[in-house]
Amino acid sequence: MQGDIQRVLVVDFGAQYSQLIARRIRECKVYSEIVPYDISMGEIRRRKPRGLILSGGPASVYAKEAPSCNREIFKLGIPVLGICYGMQLMAHLLGGEVARTGKSEYGKTKLTAREDTLLLDGLPRKQNVWMSHRDSVKTPPPGFKATALTETTPIAVMENDQDKLYGVQFHPEVIHTPYGMDILKNFLYNACNCIPSWTMVSIIEKSIEEIKRTVGDDKIICGLSGGVDSAVAAILVHKAVGDNLTCVFVDHGLLRKGEVEQVEETFRKHFRINLIHVKAQERFLNKLKGIVDPESKRLIIGEEFIRTFEELAKKLREVKFLVQGTLYPDVIESGTKDAAKIKTHHNVGGLPLKHDFKLIEPLRELFKDEVRALGEELGLPEEIVWRQPFPGPGLAIRIVGEVTEERLNILREADAVVEEEIKRAGLYRKLWQSFAVLPCVRTVGVMGDERTYSYPIVVRAVISEDAMTADWARLPYEVLERISNRIINEITGVNRVVYDISSKPPSTIEWE
């Protein structure tokens, strides 16, 4: 999808919101990429962006090792928008003055426009914005006008229409700035002259064209996990190459209830894709015998997955290409400076790091929400498209202790109850994750006037945007009551249900 598409580059200065800025641009149907602050001028020219956005960041422009950029970036004739630190850096490099005030301005703030301007065109003269800064611009650079202010920040917006350079001290990308998307659209459409053409249909068309050009008539193999990423990648590639695609589904016996049947139904019967189902439950359980440490579990499962996949791959010698469900966050997860390294080493579902395949990664430019939208456009069932994130090691890391067939059966049934009741309450798509955990301890209970000594089940439900942070979901008491009653009454070996009310941080979403 690299072709001659319109793109806007987000120059990352270490902001916690850089990915969010890129996502918001794409929500405006304009393609965006995140690049490091020290990107070369040659690389910028090579990518031919319609505009640049300088992100925020935690540093002060006066700090000894503050991140900076080449000031020639402002002479490329490309519109530039600086956000928070990005605005301060722009002012600093172009001859303005940034004040180290020591005063903080955080949270909701009232912004007042001094006049009608490009960024604030069509918006109310007064609006709420979200601030998060200490330093601020005291004097704008030559050629700039201060076009909006807040009670404590005289220069909250500055604009240079002649050179198409703009700065905002607040964060238009966060939902707490109600007109933030309108401000971004004004920059993208009016300053950069972008056309909102980054749509699911255009992504599908360009991807199919590129896959056909790359693969030709050669064979392709795809490691299918049943999750949304590999599923969407498989369907997209299948549209391009048809029966030349073979999907491999390694069933390690650690999946949720009904997951195996759903994968079979979706890919073999609904889409009529060549599917090899490797049944390896016994193999994985034997390797996990006596293992309690969670990291050891992960390593064993990953290693065994690799061995299983490699054994099958040797039988498919004519296959030259390997499909991976790599997403854009995977490429930049360790920082944009290491993007190439992440791409080289990133693997999905435990696929071999060393192999003779050529990689096909049709989703590597997409965020998770875009992948879901693409899945809907491709006709994938809602149950797969909107499936909540599920760890690669599966239920093995939701059993706190040794993994046994008995414990897997108990947890699988309990997890199914949680999912059914969450969906019944209409909450499934409002939660990032909701699931059951089985700690390998016993608790005393009373059932039928008799003493029991059985497992507890922990219910976990969180809300989040990207899993970097998460808050525990305030589930209605009646939902929790139904979950508890059903688990205890329907599942032998359980006599207690508890609800996890910890957030991330300090906890994590998963227990192991």
Same structural domain for residues 207 and 156?
A: no
State residue 19's pLDDT score.
85
Alpha helices in 315-338 (DSSP H): 328-332
Same structural domain for residues 275 and 340?
A: yes
Same structural domain for residues 127 and 251?
A: no
What's the rounded Cα separation, in Å, for the pair 77 and 180?
Answer: 25
Same structural domain for residues 95 and 178?
A: yes
Please state the domain count of the chain.
3
What's the rounded Cα separation, in Å, for the pair 104 and 90?
Answer: 20
HSE at residue 447, side-chain half, CA atoms within 13 A, is 16
List the beta bridge partners of residue 136. 99
List the beta bridge partners of residue 458. 437, 498
Same structural domain for residues 243 and 329?
A: yes
Same structural domain for residues 212 and 253?
A: yes
SS3 444: strand
Same structural domain for residues 123 and 248?
A: no
Same structural domain for residues 347 and 407?
A: no
State residue 344's pLDDT score.
31
User: Does 504 reside within a domain?
Assistant: no
What's the rounded Cα separation, in Å, for the pair 460 and 496?
Answer: 14
What's the rounded Cα separation, in Å, for the pair 149 and 157?
Answer: 7
User: Does 390 reside within a domain?
Assistant: no
Q: Look up residue 80 and give its two tokens.
A: 């530039």
| Residues 77-91 pLDDT 10s | 999 999 999 999 999
User: Does 153 reside within a domain?
Assistant: yes
Could you tell me the maximum CA-CA distance found in the chain, to the nearest angstrom? 84
Say if residues 391 and 357 touch (Cβ distance below 8 Å).
Answer: no
Alpha-carbon 104 to chain mean position = 30
CATH number reported for the structural domain that contains residue 450 in this entry: 3.30.300.10
352, 385, 418 - which closes a domain: 385
In 3D space, the residue among 50, 51, 47, 52 whose CA is nearest the CA of residue 3 turns out to be 47
List the beta bridge partners of residue 221. 246, 322
In 3D space, the residue among 432, 503, 509, 504 whose CA is nearest the CA of residue 464 turns out to be 432
State residue 390's pLDDT score.
85
Q: What is the mean pLDDT of each run of 10 residues along the chain (512 residues)?
A: 76 85 93 93 95 92 89 94 95 91 72 91 93 84 94 92 95 91 97 93 91 91 84 93 91 91 86 90 95 92 82 79 81 46 35 67 88 92 87 91 96 97 96 96 85 94 82 97 97 96 91 92
State residue 354's pLDDT score.
60
Catalytic residue numbers read 84, 171, 173
State residue 93's pLDDT score.
95
Alpha helices in 404-476 (DSSP H): 405-424
User: Does 505 reside within a domain?
Assistant: no
Same structural domain for residues 231 and 378?
A: yes
State residue 348's pLDDT score.
39
User: Does 248 reside within a domain?
Assistant: yes
User: Does 376 reside within a domain?
Assistant: yes
List the beta bridge partners of residue 222. 247, 323
Say if residues 443 and 497 touch (Cβ distance below 8 Å).
Answer: no
Same structural domain for residues 229 and 115?
A: no
What's the rounded Cα separation, in Å, for the pair 393 and 298?
Answer: 6
Same structural domain for residues 17 and 156?
A: yes
Same structural domain for residues 323 and 431?
A: no
C-beta pairs of 500-507 under 8 Å, 24+ apart in sequence: 500/437, 500/458, 500/459, 500/460, 500/472, 501/472, 502/472, 503/462, 503/469, 503/470, 503/471, 503/472, 504/462, 504/464, 504/469, 504/470, 504/471, 505/469
State residue 342's pLDDT score.
27
State residue 49's pLDDT score.
96
**186 is in which domain, residue-wise?**
7-191
Q: Look up residue 267 and give its two tokens.
A: 């890919």
320, 350, 385 - which closes a domain: 385
State residue 353's pLDDT score.
56
State residue 166's pLDDT score.
97
User: Does 511 reside within a domain?
Assistant: no
User: Does 510 reside within a domain?
Assistant: no
Q: Look up residue 325 and give its two tokens.
A: 């469900």
Say if residues 133 and 105 touch (Cβ distance below 8 Å).
Answer: yes
List the beta bridge partners of residue 158. 146, 167
State residue 336's pLDDT score.
44
Task: Look at strands 219-223 and 319-323 and give their pairing.
Answer: parallel
191, 219, 234 - which closes a domain: 191
CATH number reported for the structural domain that contains residue 359 in this entry: 3.40.50.620
CATH number reported for the structural domain that contains residue 132 in this entry: 3.40.50.880
Q: Residues, the chain, total?
A: 512
State residue 105's pLDDT score.
63
In 3D space, the residue among 483, 486, 221 whose CA is nearest the CA of residue 500 turns out to be 483
State residue 389's pLDDT score.
84
